[in-house]
Chains A and B, each alone.
Chain A
């Protein structure tokens, strides 16, 4: 018979006590269950994985950025701007007096493609057409992947609006500087359309 108050009946029904061996069974199960991996090792693994991801993304971004320093959209070491390089070509004579570094020149960026930052220590030399053509061929070969250079550095200049503009390209031992009025769009095929 159910008492008038079902709550009381429920209370009586639930008044059970653990069996004497319950605690011993729990202890035994705990003693035999596998030890979970230490929390710090799990966290270290997660942190290491996250670090690898961050570094990968940073390297990818950085290499892309450095490639844009040389010429937008062209990977460093495989292609080099040509038409934007007006024929103010500095050849590498004996070490000449280093030009004074302009404060407006942005610091060159490094990339994993062995683009190294170097200070220009060469003087300016205008080259004749045949040498300019040879240079065009070199740049074309680099772009086509047929020639490699130990390092390419793009120097930039920051204008009044804070925009970064290309100033020079350094392929040791050459330094190619842009002249005022150099068109922004590069010549895509310097061999077929050499700079006049």
Chain B
């Protein structure tokens, strides 16, 4: 009996903590879904693949969520994890990805904004982005998303703001050079 009395509150505390974690994770999922998918898309150029990779990243994040409860820490971890997983996805399945890209369903097609840019020119832009070193590529991709400030990008990448500034400068210069 005494054992049961000791066991019951411990279980309740554990259950309460789990519920709280689930609620927090749900908030992070709503908050960071677009970020993760866009980071993956910047590597994969295909929304279906990007969502698959982001989904895997969220599943991993859920397993480690007790250590990632802070919003900034979570987003930074998610960005880096999604980026790495997207790169792995490209390396391991480039051929499949290319085929899928051809057979993209209508709902994953170009957005209204994208239609304003000619497909051929867009490919040229992405080729230029792909030629950037990884450290520059992630910084420039994050800087054009969701109105991120230099400070936001620095937090997400885990480097100093000065480093972000210099990388952005280099990335812009190299992009202009490649697109000239």
Contacts and interface: CB of A to CB of B under 8 A. Distances in A.
Interface of A: 1-2, 6-19, 22-23, 25-27, 29-30, 33, 36, 39
B113 A26 contact: no
Nearest to B110: A13
Interface of B: 29-30, 33-34, 37-38, 41-42, 47, 50-51, 54-56, 58-59, 62-63, 66, 107-108, 111, 113-114, 116-118, 121-122, 124-126, 128-129, 140-141, 143-145, 172, 175-176, 179
Q: What DSSP secondary structure best describes chain B's contact surface?
A: helix
B37 A18 contact: yes
Nearest to B129: A10
Contacts of B116: 12
A6 B59 contact: no
A1 B66 CA distance: 47
A10 B34 contact: no
B117 A9 contact: yes
Contact of B29 (A12, A14, A23): A23
Given A6-B176, A22-B37, A13 B58 contact: no
17 contacts: A2-B121, A6-B128, A6-B176, A7-B172, A8-B144, A10-B140, A11-B145, A12-B116, A13-B113, A13-B114, A15-B38, A16-B38, A17-B34, A17-B37, A18-B54, A25-B51, A39-B66
Contacts of A17: 34, 37
Contacts of B34: 16-18
Q: What DSSP secondary structure best describes chain A's contact surface?
A: helix
B59 A10 contact: no
A22 B54 contact: yes
Contacts of B144: 7-8, 10-11, 14
**Which of A6, A7, A25 gathers most chain B CB within 10 Å?**
A6
A121 to B, nearest CB: 49
Contacts of A15: 38, 111, 113
Given A7-B172, A18-B34, 14 more contacts: A1-B118, A7-B144, A9-B117, A9-B122, A10-B125, A13-B125, A16-B50, A17-B37, A23-B33, A26-B58, A27-B29, A29-B56, A29-B58, A33-B63
